[in-house]
Each structure stands twice: as structure tokens, then as C-alpha cells.
Structure 1
Amino acid sequence: MTETLFLSSDDVAGLATPGEYVEAVREGYRQRGEGAPAEPRTKLLPNDPPGMLTTYGAVLPDTGAMGGYMYAAGFGARDAWFVTPLFDADSGELLAVIDGAHMNPYKTGAVGAVGVDALAREDASSLAIIGSGSQARGQLRAAATVRDLDTVWVYSPTKDHRESFAGEMDRELDASVAAVASAAAAIEDADIVVTATTAAEPVFDGDRLEPGTHVTAMGQYDPEKRELDATTIERATYVPDLRKRATADAGSFLQAMEEGVVDEDHVHAELGEVVAGVAEGRTTDEEITVFDSGGTGIETVAAAFLLYERARDRGLGTEVDFSPASEAF
């Protein structure tokens, strides 16, 4: 029998700062860049009722943990539930089962910030964010830990949402955060552009990107999701979280290939390869860069292990018994 720690969303709330999530996730991607195993998501898409059952995993040997996500989204309840099983990478024992609701925007924001840190100009100080939900909050909070932001412009289609977001983030961050009336206004003169949407069509015109801009896109985890247009992909040094994702479910990259403006060779490197120094990131101040963040087990395991250690040290969670297969009969 193995004693396994169950951590509720309330248990893990407040255990780590956005900056601490970023450091843990950066270390996870360094390991990936040096060969740690990780695979893109697998999705099952029932039609009645419509929904998505998703899994993905990673092994982080230096962290000493492995695991990933399984989550259901949509279906009759029109909601999502995230669960992370976390295993010991040496013994294989189940360390923890974590409710991923609280962790999700933080770990997703953290990998977005790792992309910003690896690919944006060092002097980048202005940021445009398209979207105003929990994922947008996670992206902005994390990005503010890796660049000294002076100005943030936010756009989302609903005026009340973008203004509420701007007010909340303006009070929370040192940067000046303001809502604007269009995506074009948001990206004008922005050093960094972050998209955090569920859009099926591009959310801005790639011709409007200034030279030297970095783009982090986190809503492109399905062939039908397309935050970025083909022009943006064509103009950019393109870095996905996992190379296999680019031709599997990275909607904007797939569309750019379909339009004939790029091919598979346009994938510059995986994020982990840039973080580990195996591949170059930005090489000039005029270069446009894109980090395509569709979600992997790398950030999930890295963040989950950080939370597991903090919770264990503070006596949080509930111990439950799991039987190994040898005790099944």
C-alpha cells in the first residue's frame, strides 16, 4: 500500500507565487531541451454530448517526478475538471493526486512567461494582451515577473470584461494597465503580444506587428483554434512547446502550412531547446518571434511537484491509500 497525498484546489491556493511557478516551469523545459520525455496531448471528442477528454504527460528526471493532466471539458455541464497524477520518477510510486483547477492558469501563465523570457527583447517594456479571462490573468501576472513592464493594453470583445480586467491588473501590477477598443490598438507599439483566447479566427492582423515584437499564443491547442494568422507565422521565428504539436494540433501553424506560406522546416526549435541553450532564440532586435503554447505535461509536472513539496512541508492535503499492482490479487 502506498500513501498518496490528495491536494484539493483550496489546498494548493497561495502555495506559490507567479515567479516561483515560472522558475519551476523553466527548469522543466530545460530538462526537456536536454532530452526529457514528453508527448503532445491526446484528445477524445465525443459528439453526444459534445466535449473533450484530454491527456498528456511528461517525465522530468532531474525534478524526480513524472505525470501529467487528464481533464474533461464541455459535455453536458459545459465546464472543465482537471486532475494531475504525480509519480516519483525513480520508484514509480504515486506521490500525489492534485485538483488542477487553481493551478491551471498559473502553470499555463508560467510557460507563457518562459517563452517571453526566452524570446522577447531584453528591453521589452510594453505588452498587449488579447483576452480577459482567468488565463489572461495568469499570462499577465507571469509575464510581469520576467520583464519590467511599464505599459499594458488589454482588449477583449466585451467592453465590461476588458475594463474590469484592466482595473484589477492596474491595481495589482506596477505597470499601467488600460483597456482599448480594438486588437489593433492593443498591439500598436507593443513589444510583447499575448493571446489568451478560444478564438477560431485570427485575433489581430500580422501585418501590423512591428519588427522586434514577440508573440506568445496560448489558445491554439486544436486544428480549429487559430489565434494567429498566416502572416504572423510566416514573418516569425516560430517556436512551439513541442515540435510534434506544430503539425498535430497547432491550428495557426497548420493553417499557414495549408496556405502554403510555411512548411515543417519553419519550426525553428522547441522551447526547451532554446531554454537549454541547444538552439538559439532571438538573434536580432528586429526579429519577430512566436511562442506557440498549446499545453504539455512539462509545465504540469513541474508546477505540480512544486505544489506537492510545499503542501507536504506545511502538512496540507489528505493522505489516501493506493494499492500497487502486486497487491491486486
Structure 2
Amino acid sequence: MLTIDAATVRRLYPMARAIEDMRSAFTLFSSGRVRQPQRTITPGDAEGEVLATMPAHVPLGAGNGPGAFGLKVIAVQPGNIAKGLDPHVGVVLLLDPGTCEPRAMLDATVITEIRTAAASAVATGVLARPDAEVIAVLGTGAQARSHIEAVSLVRPPREIRVWGRTAAHAQALAAEFADRLPVRAVPSVAEAVADADVVCTVTSSAEPVLDAAAVRPGTHINAVGAVFPGRRELTSDLVERARVLTDSRQSALSEAGDLLFPLREGRFGEEHVRGEIGEVLIGRCAGRTTKEEITVFESLGLAVQDVVAAWSVYDRAAAEGLGTRVRLTGTAHEGTGR
């Protein structure tokens, strides 16, 4: 088995490649070619501490090869933030398509960071107005950084505004991009989104940070941070006003707090989720239908995204001789000392 650490994953997985991989993952999923149950959530002792288990069986080789099993196991540990650690930690396991022996194990933190932003970039490409050039990012963590990079590849920005609850964090993030992209920190959500064309909400907030009154017609929103039923980043008024698409209709209607709160309030029915990004890509569903409508991509994250990304990294690592080989399987007497 090949083990691939976080630094190697980052080195081998440029954002442009990840965007193409997520386009493939969305298409495979919405075409019904992926076998993937709902993710399983196991709570821990601490507030917000959970373990998510996300398996899938995915066709390989641009969807034309044999299928293979993959599994992401990732924990959310909010206490890591105070320690200067990423709150999302875990691994992606890939099994050999023929024997089901472990083929590779990869760091899941970096894969999740990159593929999540790449998925938003694919959604932005099909839902944002073609002339979009002002981007707002609400949040200052790893996803904020990766979304700045990813969305800029599909909608070259004239300006990118970053807001965070801690002003120093927003200023530090803007400084990271000073020599590459026009990023500046702003003191309020209102200033960030005032005339923005694309808004990415990538916060850890349990309460809404973005309201309908702040969003102008024609805006596209990537709603990324609220991936549990009891948390949301968008108000009910905003979601009701918007054209909503997602990565998985089933996941969104069972897990996305942004949708579940207004559904319980009777604001709309399940049909308010108009379709999946993969359905837009294969022509089964319309994306943006007017220049003035507000569009929302409700992102939950899918196992197929992790498995497709992990195979992409594994193929490059194997070709370049990178990673560490570990033998887990063998004959029954091996390792007994006899």
C-alpha cells in the first residue's frame, strides 16, 4: 500500500486539475454511475466532535474503467482550532479494483480542502454570470484560502473581498495573496457582498451570516460551511428567494441546515432544490435561467469527490515514485516470528 502525506498531496494536486476532476465526479454521480450511500455521522464526547464515514464505488479511468471502492474517514474536532491545528483530520483509503487489497492511503485534510473549493469552482462556472468579476469570501480558514484560488480560475477577478469575525485573520489572509490576486480585507459582511457577483460562505457559524437584503440580484452563492442539519449560513429569506442547486439532492434534503430550517418553516417544499450540478453538466437540468436571479450552490461534499481526487493523486504519486510503501497483507505465517 502506498501512503501519501499531506505535503505530497498538495504538491501533486493543483487546483486546475482538481476542478476537472470534480467536473467528472459530478457527472458520474448524477449519471447514476456511482454507488454511494449517505455518509454516516458518529458523534463524540465534545461539542461538535464527529466522525464522518463516506464510502463509494466509483468507475475509474474517466469513468470508462472498472469500478473500485474508496472510503474517506474524517473527524471534525473543533478543539483543534485553539491548538493551531486543522479541525478536519482523516484519511482516504483506496482499494485495488481487482483484489480489494488496500492500494493507497492518503491524507484527507488536504484532499477535502482542495476538492471542496474545486467543486465550488465547477458550480460557479455553470451558475455565475459570465461577466462576474467581484468575489466575496466570508470566512478566513483553509476553505477561504482554497476558494479564493479556485473561483479565481473560473471567474478572473477584478476584486476579491474577505471578511472574518477576527479582523486580523482576514488581513493576514489578504496579505497571503498580495502578489498574486487583488484580495483585500473588509470589516463587515455588508461591505464584502455589497456589489459582489460571487459570494462564498465558508464559515463555521451555526447561525446565518448572510441575508437576502445584503445580496443583489444576479449574485451566485457557494454555500459551503453549513454541512449539518442544525447549522446554517444563509437566512430563510435568502434561500427562499434563490434558485438552489446542490451536489446531491438526497444529501441536501437530509443534511443541509440552509435548506432544512426554511423547509420546517414551510417556506417551500423539497422541489425548491431544482437539481444537481452534475445534472446541469449533462444537460438534464437548467443552471442559471435569468441574469437577475440569485443562484445558490448548496455544497455538502460527496464521497465520489474524495475517491476521484484520491485516485488522481495516487496515479501521479505512483508514476513519480513518491509516497511510502507499506505492506499490510501477506501469507498467514508472515509476521509471526517463526
TM-score by shorter chain over 0.5: yes
Change (3 A) 1:255 1:214: same
Aligned to 2:160: 152
AA at the equivalent of 1:25: M
**C-alpha separation in 2, matches of 1:230 and 1:125:** 27
Tell me, yes or no, if the aligned pair for 1:39 and 1:296 is still in contact at 8 Å. no
Question: Aligned ranges for residues 18-33 of structure 1 at < 5 Å?
Answer: 18-33=15-30
With 145-154 and 6-15 compared, the bigger mean Cα shift is at 6-15
Aligned to 2:187: 181
Change (3 A) 1:144 1:90: farther
Aligned-residue offset at 1:13: 2.6
Question: Aligned ranges for residues 212-227 of structure 1 at < 5 Å?
Answer: 212-227=218-233
Aligned-residue offset at 1:212: 0.9
**CA deviation string 1:174-223 (max 9, x = no partner):** xx211111101111111100001111111121122111110001111101
**C-alpha separation in 2, matches of 1:140 and 1:75:** 23
**C-alpha separation in 2, matches of 1:214 and 1:77:** 32
Aligned to 1:248: 254
AA at the equivalent of 1:41: R
**C-alpha separation in 2, matches of 1:249 and 1:124:** 30
Aligned-residue offset at 1:316: 0.6
Aligned to 1:67: 70
1:52 aligns with 2:50: yes
Aligned to 1:275: 281
**Could you state the TM-score of these two structures normalised by the residue count of structure 1?**
0.91
**C-alpha separation in 1, matches of 2:248 and 2:37:** 8
Identity %: 36
AA at the equivalent of 2:151: A
Aligned-residue offset at 1:19: 0.9
AA at the equivalent of 1:225: R
Which of 259, 266, 270 is matched with 1:260 structurally?
A: 266
Aligned to 1:206: 212
Change (3 A) 1:77 1:287: closer
Change (3 A) 1:189 1:245: same
Q: Per the alignment, in what secondary structure is the counterpart of residue 255 of structure 2?
A: coil
**C-alpha separation in 1, matches of 2:218 and 2:205:** 25
**C-alpha separation in 2, matches of 1:119 and 1:48:** 38
Aligned to 1:138: 146
Corresponding residue pairs, total? 323
Q: Unaligned 5+ residue runs, structure 1?
A: none
**CA deviation string 1:132-170 (max 9, x = no partner):** 111111111111111111111111111111111112123
Change (3 A) 1:166 1:44: same
**CA deviation string 1:230-277 (max 9, x = no partner):** 111111111121111222110110001112111111110112211222
AA at the equivalent of 1:30: T
Which of 286, 289, 294 is matched with 2:292 structurally?
A: 286
Change (3 A) 1:82 1:288: same
Aligned-residue offset at 1:312: 0.5
Tell me, yes or no, if the aligned pair for 1:59 and 1:89 is still in contact at 8 Å. no
